[in-house]
Amino acid sequence: MKEMTPSGILGTGHYVPEKIITNFDLEKMVETSDEWIRTRTGIKCRHISSENENTSDLCVKAAKKAMEAAKITASDIDFIIVATITPDYITPSTACLVQDKLGCKNAGAMDISVGCTGYVYACTVASNMVSTGMYKKILVVGAETLSRIVNWHDRTTCILFGDGAGAAIVGEVSEGYGLLSAELGSDGSLGNILCIPAGGTAKPASHETIDSGDMFLHMSGSEVFKAAVRHMEFTTLKAVEKAGLKKEDINMFIAHQANNRIIQAVAKKIGLESEKVLVNVDKYGNTSAASIGIALDEAVKAGKVKKGDIVVFTGFGAGLTWGCAIFKWN
C-alpha cells in the first residue's frame, strides 16, 4: 500500500467587499436595533458585494492572496475546490469560473455545497487528495454573496449575513504536520430548518415563488442554534480523540462565525479558555462557507497561529451538515 503524504495549508488569504452595512443602517431598513442585534448575535456590521461583484470575483481576490502567501503561481495549482451556496450560476460551477479567471490551465475544478460547513469539508477533501498523491497543490476557497439570497425585509435573517471569501493553498508538508484528523457529518431529515425552499428542480423559479419569498433563505433560528451547539461540540471532541489529542492541546479554535452566543456556548461545553477562541463575527456577520477561512487568515496574519500549534476548524451549516478538521500548523 502506498504511503500517505502529509498534507496541510501552505498559505491563506481572504477578501471582503468594501461596502459595509452597520446595525444602525439596518435600523432604517427593518424593525430592529443595534442593541438587539449586538446582544443576541455579537454582530456590529457586515460587508456587502457591489452590483458587479459575484462570488467568483470574491474567490479570485482571496485566492491571489493565498497564492502569494504560499509563493506559488496559477500554473502550480492542479485542482480547485470552491465551497459555496451562492454560486454565480447553477452551471457552470463557480470553481470553473475561478479556474478561468486565475488562468489555472492545469487544474480540475469543482464546487461543494454544504452551507456553512463548506470550508471544513473542502479543506478535508483537498488534504486527502494531496495525501493520496492525486494532486500537489489545491486551491480551496469558501466564498459567499449571501446578500443576494437574503430577504432584506425579513429582520430575522437579513441582520445576520454578510459577503466574503477565505482561501487556502493545500499541499505537501513535513512529516508530523498538517491534517491530523477530520470528522464530517450530516442529517438531511432536518434540512428544512435552514433552506431556500425554491429555485431548484423540486420547486422551480416562478412568479409565485418570487412573490412568496421562497427564493430567499429561510431559517428556524432557535432550532438551528440548538443543533449547531450540539453537533459542533460532539464533532470537535470526536476529531480531537481521533487525532490522539486532548482538548488541552488545542492552541487555536476557529468555529464557524454564525453567532457569538453559539461560539461561546460550544467553547464552554468543550472547556476552552477564551484566549484560544477566535471571534470576528462582530466585523463580518455570518459569511457561511467563507467564515472560517476569513478568520484563519486573520489569525495567521496577526501572528496568532505559530508553527506546531494545534488549530481546530469546526463548522455547522445547511443540509444539515457539520464537521471538524484538526491541523498541526506547519
Distances (CA, A) of 297 to 95, 145, 314: 20, 19, 15
Q: Among 104, 116, 195, 324, which one carries the catalytic annotation?
A: 116
Q: Among 23, 54, 259, 286, which one carries the catalytic annotation?
A: 286
* β-strand pairing of 45-48 with 310-317: unpaired
Q: How far is CA 191 from the centre of its chain?
A: 18
Residue 110, CB-side half-sphere exposure with 13 Å CA sphere: 7
* 104 noted as active-site residue: no
Q: How far is CA 22 from the centre of its chain?
A: 22
Query: CA nearest 328: which of 232, 240, 223?
Result: 240
Residue with cell 464546487: 111
Query: CA nearest 77: which of 109, 121, 123?
Result: 109
Query: Which residue stretches of 171-245 are H helix?
Result: 207-212, 221-242
Question: What does the alpha-carbon distance between residue 136 and residue 29 come to, in Å, rounded to a whole number?
Answer: 48
Q: Among 96, 123, 256, 330, which one carries the catalytic annotation?
A: 256
Altogether, the residues listed in the chain come to a count of 330
Question: What does the alpha-carbon distance between residue 284 and residue 281 come to, in Å, rounded to a whole number?
Answer: 5
CB 323 within 8 Å of CB 124: yes
Name residues whose C-beta falls within 8 Å of residue 141's C-beta, 6 or more positions apart in sequence.
59, 62, 63, 80, 81, 82, 83, 98, 122, 165, 166, 167, 168, 293
Question: What does the alpha-carbon distance between residue 214 and residue 209 come to, in Å, rounded to a whole number?
Answer: 5
Residue 320, preceding bond cis, omega within 30 degrees?
yes
Handedness of CA 303, 310, 280, 72 (dihedral sign): positive
Question: What does the alpha-carbon distance between residue 230 and residue 86 come to, in Å, rounded to a whole number?
Answer: 26
**Kind plus residue range of the DSSP H or E element containing 102:** helix 94-102
* 23 noted as active-site residue: no
* 116 noted as active-site residue: yes
> Which residues are known to be catalytic?
116, 256, 286
